[in-house]
Amino acid sequence: MAKPAKMLGELLGGLFTKPATVLYPFERLEVPPRFRGRIAYEAASCIGCKLCMRDCPSDAIRISKYEGGSFLFAFVSARTGERKLVEIPNNAKKRHRARFRLSRCIYCAQCVESCPKKCLRSTDQYELAVLGSNIKPPKR
């Protein structure tokens, strides 16, 4: 407290300048270029080299293979609770899929750097918190 009033000019100036902050949910600041947000995956160009998996420091990404042809999807009927398997034809080009665990991802974008085919990229999505899980357990 050598000079207690050192900031006086700064403070009084603050009264007459625009606030540096915004009212967040109503106004948003523009995301800076090359912002590292949620990772987007493009299956069509993925060759399944799994370099991203190797480099990921928090073990948040998993690349797995689709076994050709078609794959099965399990549906649960909301009315009867009956399980039904539906066969979905595979997209000819799509041979791999990526699973991200957003709770582990630290958004370092190392996977984006590592990918030789540029099928991973950072987006500007940063509002990734949700109120509840979207995955509902089957009704009994």
Partner 1 sequence: MESLAPSAFSLLVFPGFLFLGAYGTLAQWVDRKLYARMQRRVGPPWYQPVADLVKLLAKETIVPQAADMAVFQLLPAVAVAAACTAMLMVPVWGPGAVVSFQGDLIAVLYLLTIPTATFFLAGWSSTSPYAAVGSVRALTQLFSYEVPLFLSVIGAAILAGSLSVQEIAAFFAARPALLAVNLPGLCVALLALQGKLERVPFDIPHAETEVVGGPFTEYSGGLLALFLAATDMEMVVGAALISAVFLGGSLGLTGAAGFALFVAKTLGVVFILALMRALMARIRLEQMLGFCWKILAPVALAQILADILIKRVI
- Classify burial at 108, counting beta carbons within 10 Å of its beta carbon; exposed 0-12, middle 13-18, buried 19 or more: middle
Q: Tell me if 2 contacts partner 1 by CB under 8 A.
A: no
Q: Tell me if 135 contacts partner 1 by CB under 8 A.
A: no
What's the rounded Cα separation, in Å, for the pair 51 and 69?
25
- From the list 127, 133, 129, the residue with the least C-alpha distance to 24 is 127
- Beta-bridge mates of residue 84: 75
The strand ranges marked E within the chain are 39-41, 61-65, 70-76, 83-89, 96-100, 120-122
Q: Tell me if 29 contacts partner 1 by CB under 8 A.
A: no
Q: How far is the CB of 28 from partner 1 (least distance, A)?
A: 14
Q: Footprint of partner 1 on residues 40-69 (CB under 8 A)?
A: none
Q: Tell me if 7 contacts partner 1 by CB under 8 A.
A: yes
SS3 45: helix
Q: How far is the CB of 30 from partner 1 (least distance, A)?
A: 17
Q: How far is the CB of 23 from partner 1 (least distance, A)?
A: 6
- From the list 98, 90, 93, 61, the residue with the least C-alpha distance to 73 is 90
Q: How far is the CB of 11 from partner 1 (least distance, A)?
A: 4
Q: How far is the CB of 124 from partner 1 (least distance, A)?
A: 23
What's the rounded Cα separation, in Å, for the pair 77 and 129?
28
Q: Tell me if 22 contacts partner 1 by CB under 8 A.
A: yes
- By C-beta, is 30 or 67 nearer to partner 1? 30
Q: Tell me if 131 contacts partner 1 by CB under 8 A.
A: no
Can you give the binding site for partner 1, defined by CB under 8 A? 1, 4-5, 7-8, 11-12, 14-15, 17, 19-23
